[in-house]
Amino acid sequence: MKYFLLIISLITTSVVAQVNPKLQTKLNQQAKEIETRVIEWRRHLHQNPELSNRETQTAAYIAEHLRKIGLKIQTGVAHTGVVGLLETGKPGPVIALRADMDALPVTERNSLPFASKVKATYNGQETGVMHACGHDSHVAILMGVAEILVKNKAELKGTIKFIFQPAEEGAPADEEGGAELMVKQGVLQNPKVEAIFGLHVSSGTPIGELTYKPGGLLAAADNYSIKVLGRQAHGSTPWMSVDPIVVSAQIINGLQTIISRQTELTREAAVISVGRIQSGIRENIIPEEAFFAGTIRTLDTEMQDIIHEKIKLTATKIAESAGAKAEVTIRRGTPVTYNDPALTHKMVPSLQKAAGADKVYEINAITGAEDFAFYQKEIPGFFFFLGGMSPDMDPAKAPSHHTPDFIIDEAGFVTGVKAMLNLTVDYMFAKK
């Protein structure tokens, strides 16, 4: 029923979209023209990666470009973020376009001539730093988009906010950062943003393709930790103990049944993983407590709440069944990257205009997380993937994100630039 209504609204909006076809053609043409410079910027960024909340040179590089093209800019937003404002002077919506800036503590291993040689200290450890998730591409694409939109300012209306966001990968411990902090510092206010768009390059998707999903695209990532309090005893006399290791094992088994038996998997997928377990120091001592921690991935806020409750119940009651106690702490992290269904359906034609109808398709949800979600919590937003895999790459062998061999085919960037341009102008000129 809901979907049916959506389809109707899709048809109507396509019909009433009022972008001048000439402008559209011009933008796509200019995207093609800026391609070499986008690649150049991306290579510079790739060679100079910086860790989360430490993106000072990256920010300076972006700021310099935005200033040069004549944008009003704001720096030092959420530590190292840069926000550029394009005011057309004509009434219209405020649209935000976002790129993330940070790199990862990974030592690059591919044979690119512009591979990173940067080293830094991460958690007290010396490590290579690498744009192993493609944020360099995101920044370069958005720099190009900004330049083209500024160039065509006279034909646009409303306001465009370019958000260059730090720390998408997570701020260092004890620091705030990323989208959450940007939102907290008011990046969506003044002027108040109406819709936000963002993309992510994908090393496993062929270049030229754009993929998306309405609803939950990327998962909410919450951390939980469970402390099982038992009673210590010698390993030879378990009856004197309340064994927290055996209880933990039972709880871990119990947690599996939350997904397998208690979660409506046809609505959305969900994941509970135990990533760490720690108990005891010696083989013949039954320890007093056990600790384990993991991650919860959900694609629906209601399911997220239900799963949190079930984790608490499962752990505390199984612990009680053996005379132990379980303390469950759940820390909410990045919310679900939820593509507003109405906005998504409205914007799919823009993606098709950028990539061609046969190159745009819906994908399954992904259990990774993305802090773009924090913007979407506030306002309707649309996040999609941009193909970055070379045609000569075997998809089964494409190195995945966050690995030293991660590689992106730059030939896909132009599609990204076009997609962002089309989304912006289509939304701008769509009749309310």
Partner 1 sequence: MVMKKIALVSFCLLSVTLLSTAQEKTKTTWVDAEAKTLEPKLIELRRYFHESPELSNQEFKTSAKVVDFLKSLGLEVQYPVAKTGVVALLKGGKPGPVVALRADMDGLPITERNGLPFASKVVADFAGQQTGVMHACGHDAHMAMLLIVAEILTKHKAELKGTVKFIFQPAEEGAPANEWPAGAERMVKDGVLKNPNVDAIFGLHIQSLLPSGQIAYRAGGLMASVDGVDIKVKGKGAHGATPWDSVDPIVVAAQIIQGLQTVVSRQTELTKAGAVITIGSMHAGVRRNIIPETATLEGTIRAFDDAMQKKIHEKIKVTAEKIAESAGATAEVNIMVMYPATVNHPELTNKMVPSLIRAAGKENVVVTQPVTMAEDFSFYQREVPGFFFFLGAYPANMNLTAQPTHHTADFMIDEAAMITGVKALVNVTLDYAEGWKK
Instruction: Using CB under 8 A, list all residues that contact partner 1.
Output: 237-243, 246, 250, 253-254, 257, 260-266, 310, 313-318, 320-323
Peptide bond before 191: cis, by omega within 30 degrees of 0? yes
233: three-class secondary structure by DSSP:
strand
CB of 224 to partner 1, least distance (A): 15
Q: Is 320 a catalytic residue?
A: no
31 vs 258 by CB, closer to partner 1: 258
User: β-strand 72-77 against 159-165: which pairing, if any?
Assistant: unpaired
Q: What contacts 429, CB < 8 A, 6 or more positions away? A: 17, 18, 19, 20, 157
Beta carbon of residue 322, minimum distance to partner 1 (angstroms, whole number):
6
Q: Which of 192, 317 has the CB closer to partner 1?
A: 317
Residue 102 a catalytic site member: yes
Among residues 100, 136, 168, 426, the one annotated as catalytic is: 168
The bridge status of strand 81-87 relative to strand 159-165 is antiparallel
Between 155 and 327, name the residue whose CB sits nearer to partner 1.
Answer: 327
Task: Name every residue whose Cβ is closer than 8 Å to that of residue 97 and which is 6 or more positions away in sequence.
Answer: 142, 145, 146, 160, 161, 162, 163, 196, 197, 198, 420, 424
Question: Minimum CB separation from partner 1 for residue 226, in Å?
Answer: 13
Query: Considering beta carbons, is residue 246 or 277 the nearer one to partner 1?
Result: 246
Contact between 231 and 288 under an 8 Å Cβ cutoff? The reply is yes
Q: How far is the CB of 259 from partner 1 (least distance, A)?
A: 10
Q: How far apart are CA 99 and CA 86, in angstroms?
A: 16
Choose, from 50, 55, 100, 102, the residue flagged as catalytic: 102
73 vs 252, which CB is nearer to partner 1?
252
Nearer to partner 1, 247 or 351 (CB): 247
Shortest distance, CB of residue 246 to partner 1, whole angstroms? 5
Q: In what helix (H) or strand (E) does residue 313 lie, and over which residues does it extend?
A: helix 301-321
Judged by DSSP in three states, 205 sits in strand
Residues 4, 382, 363, CA angle at the centre, nearest 5°?
Answer: 70
The candidate with the shortest Cα–Cα distance to 389, out of 415, 354, 419, 364, is 415
Residues sharing a CB contact under 8 Å with residue 68, sequence separation 6 or more, in sequence order: none
To partner 1, the closest distance from the beta carbon of 426 in angstroms equals 39
CB atoms under 10 Å from CB of 115, counted, come to 18
The catalytic site residues sit at 102, 168
